[in-house]
Amino acid sequence: MKIIRNGVAYIQVLDFQRLLEKEKFEILTSEVFPILFREASKDSDMFIICKDNENDFIEFRNPKSVEFLTSFEEIVDYDEIKDLSYEEMDALRVCIINEKNEIASKVNMMSAEEQKQHPELFERYNTLSSKFMSLNDVYWFKRGKVKLVLPDDEKELKPISFGDEIKLRLKNAFNRKNNK
């Protein structure tokens, strides 16, 4: 999930990982990627994601980062859905699933050649999948099943803890982008 407040973007570590795993061409080749990387890694050459920190938030203050993350549809904005009832959130989840199923049905009826002519269907399907996972994070947080420390105007964020379980090395992605 993301939270945009007072010109600052807070992105859940897990969603930041999902964003980078997609290795979307427009993200990795954009002028924003190096800025995002520097802010997330705190100018280090790697960013470590593990069970200990996947629900923490990364703070982005650079205006280009904030603008990019604000417009990024795949990560739900907590402030936009926090007041929804469980039933409304369930309905939103069902809408996403239904749209994914419609896309899957369309694609399954196409030949391989037709599928190549409609990459936007695959992109939309992937966007909806990411959005669904992000929405689930909010849903389970509201249900009390996931513990999060949300950023607010009065206090600082819980610092990100770095562990050794899983290492996400963005340096390679950054180097690939610069070598193109």
Domain containing 112 equals 2-179
Give me the residue label for tokens 């050459």.
45
pLDDT tens-digit profile of 57-71?
A: 888 888 988 888 888
pTM beyond 0.75, yes or no: no
Gap between the Cα atoms of 163 and 140, Å rounded: 24
In whole angstroms, give the CA distance from residue 35 to residue 63: 10
Q: Convert the pLDDT of each residue in 139-169 to its tens digit.
A: 988 888 877 777 764 343 333 333 333 333 3
Could you read off the pLDDT of 63-103 as tens digits, one per residue?
Answer: 988 888 888 888 899 989 988 999 999 999 999 999 999 99
Q: Does the pLDDT value for residue 110 go beyond 90?
A: yes
Contact 28, 176 (CB under 8 A): yes
Among 29, 121, 126, 28, smallest CA distance to 73 is for 126
Please tell me which residue, 94 or 49, carries the higher pLDDT value.
94
User: Among residues of the chain, what percentage have pLDDT more than 70?
Assistant: 69
Number of domains in the chain: 1
Residue 26 exposure: Cα atoms within 13 Å on the Cβ side: 3
Best-predicted range by mean pLDDT (4-8, 54-58, 175-179): 4-8
